[in-house]
Amino acid sequence: MWGARKLSSSGSLFLNVLRFRYLGTQSGCPRFTTSAVYSKNQLSWTLQIKPWVFHEYRIMWSKSYRMTFACLNTMKSYRYPWARPYSTSRTTVDSSEVKTFLALAHRWWDEQGVYAPLHSMNDLRVPFIRDNLLKTVANHQPGKPLSGMKILDVGCGGGLLTEPLGRLGASVIGIDPVDANIKTAQRHKSFDPVLDKRIEYRACSLEEIVEESTETFDAVIASEVVEHVIDLETFIQCCCQVLKPGGSLFITTINKTQLSYVLGIVFSEQIAGIVPKGTHTWEKFVSPEKLESIMESNGLSVQTVVGMLYNPFSGHWHWSENTSLNYAAHAVKQEHPVPAETETEELRAQASTNSSVHEELKK
């Protein structure tokens, strides 16, 4: 049996001849397949017909269950945005962001250069991290309040925040996907023998160390990082995985508002030149509400969200109730819940012990 139909593609009409081939019967039901024949450079179409039962009036009901299309040879390089290939190796690193920071790797420790706002931000973020961590510690050593704590600094750059935390006594691992950043950080810490022992740097992404570092750290810090990742949910999930139960996650980032676009990108990058052009992408900015929602869904209890404001004229930061620009967040990983059965058994054991004590007292 033969049939013909026309198919339109990019405004052109192609005559396509469909050939139906009878394959015999199976359990009283005839089976058919169809195939389409085209020239080499034209659209390829494969249609398969699923067998169905003939009705008494010999009308065959059929249903197409598979149809695949192959693009024209001239369009092989094009990929539809909704048809991206799935990859099992998920990454949060944006290669374009890596290139941006690679060009600036040698400028991290220039306190008057492009990273001057980050140097100044330490006046807020270091005490913010220290004070919240000390709430979980009964006693601490004077001069080394974070002694005994293990901290992961994600996206550490040249070590601007890593080093102050090391000076507070913490054992810190700083990771960054830009190898040149890590080399700058290692070179700078080598001038201080104390820091050289407390700080370790690795050129890698967060997801690369998740398996080996599950529930390892007392605190994870992602300061001015989440606005540069390509998969925020995966990033937060990885942060939660490497945290110990009861550990803290600290994030500083930029809110996604019209004001943050005007001041954070137009003014800071294009007019005043406070940060290099192309450093930020407004679409990657995240609101406190969205960030809280992602953290809560990953077993993190949000403790604090507070605004931060930068004065470009004085070069200083200060805290604010307004979170429409920059803000800091602190969340704590919830303790593992006690299974109901285990809890019941413990209560029974305790009740049995109490009854034995009462019997002994009666005697």
How does 153-183 read in b/e, with b if 16+ C-beta sit within 10 Å? bbbbbbbbbbbbbbbbbbbbbbbbbbebbbe
Q: Is the pLDDT of residue 179 over 70?
A: yes
**Radius of gyration (C-alpha) of the chain in whole angstroms:** 31
Question: Annotation-wise, does 227 bind a ligand?
Answer: yes
Q: Per the domain annotation, does 40 fall within a domain? A: no
- Going from the C-alpha of 276 to that of each of 16, 94, 112, 267, 336, the distances in angstroms are 56, 17, 14, 11, 44
Quick check: 205 and 92 in contact, CB under 8 A? yes
- Residue 68 domain-assigned? no
pLDDT reported for residue 66? 37
Count Cα atoms within 13 angstroms, Cβ side, for 308: 28
Which pLDDT band, with edges at 50, 70 and 90, does 142 fall under? confident
**Residue 50 located in a structural domain:** no
**Residue 224 annotated as binding site:** yes
155 annotated as belonging to a binding site for a ligand: yes
Q: Is residue 154 part of a domain?
A: yes
Q: Structure tokens of 55? A: 């009705």
Judge whether 356 lies within some domain.
Answer: no
Q: Tell me which residue has tokens 């931060």.
A: 308
State how far the Cα of 105 lies from the Cα of 181, in Å rounded to an integer. Answer: 5
Band of the pLDDT at 245, cuts 50, 70, 90?
Answer: very high
pLDDT band at 351 (very low <50, low <70, confident <90, very high): low
Amino acid identity of residue 243, one-letter, is: L
Confirm whether residue 278 is marked as ligand binding. no
- Note the pLDDT tens digit of each residue in 302-333: 999 999 999 999 999 999 999 999 999 999 99
Query: What are φ and ψ of residue 267, in 5° steps?
Result: -75, -55
What is the token pair recorded at 191? 């001038």
The pLDDT assigned to 362 comes to 52
Residue 266, pLDDT above cutoff 90: yes
Tokens, residue 31: 């089976």
Q: Is residue 71 part of a domain?
A: no
Report d(CA 267, CA 274) in Å as an integer.
8
Other Cβ atoms within 10 Å of 334 Cβ, number = 14
Structural domain of residue 289, as residue ranges?
Answer: 95-333
Residue 155, domain member (yes or no): yes
pLDDT of 222 above 90: yes
Has this prediction a pTM greater than 0.85? Answer: no
- Distance between CA 320 and CA 306 in Å, rounded? 7
User: Distance between CA 234 and CA 88 in Å, rounded?
Assistant: 13
Q: What are phi and psi of 294, to 5 degrees?
A: -65, -40
Say which CATH number the domain at 320 has: 3.40.50.150
- State yes or no: 307 annotated in a binding site: no
223 marked as part of a ligand binding site: yes
158 annotated as belonging to a binding site for a ligand: no
**157 within a domain of the structure (yes/no):** yes
**73, two tokens:** 């040879």
**Domain tally, the chain:** 1
- Across the range 284-309, mean pLDDT stands at 97
pLDDT over 90 at 183, yes or no? yes
Of 238 and 98, more confident = 238
